[in-house]
Amino acid sequence: MIGRTLGHYRILEKIGAGGMGEVYRAHDERLDRDVALKILPSGTLHDESARKRFRKEALTLAKLSHSNIATIFDFDTQEGVDFLAMEYVAGLTLAQKLAAGLLPEQEVVNLGIEIAAALEEADANGIIHRDLKP
């Protein structure tokens, strides 16, 4: 995928992967900014019903406005590839921080508060995350 262009997104590097697809840092050529592009596994949106559910979820997520939740900018299908474009947040993941060693107690408390605030915002908008991990 690296080097490929989907619509107006040029894929630069892979930054993660999980059960719901792979995530890449990409450059939005139209708005001249980096984004996180989540590429859904092939066949995830296998029929019109699945596409409608995905569209509804993407629209719901795009309405969230919280400092601890990456903003959804776009969702699309290009060349048979389904994806979400969202805010790119530079820095280490929690898993990367934990791999480097134990975190100071106050940082753990602060992270817990930030995570809880984000989950509260999602819950207030009828969203259940279902895939939390460091």
Which residues are catalytic, by number?
A: 131
Distance CA 96, CA 73 (A): 26
**H or E element, residue 36:** strand 33-39
Residue 94 per-residue DSSP state: H
Alpha carbon distances (Å) from 31 to 10, 35, 86, 94: 12, 10, 13, 29
CA-CA distance, 52 to 40, in Å (whole number)? 15
Neighbours of 38 (CB within 10 A): 21
Indicate the residue type of 58.
A
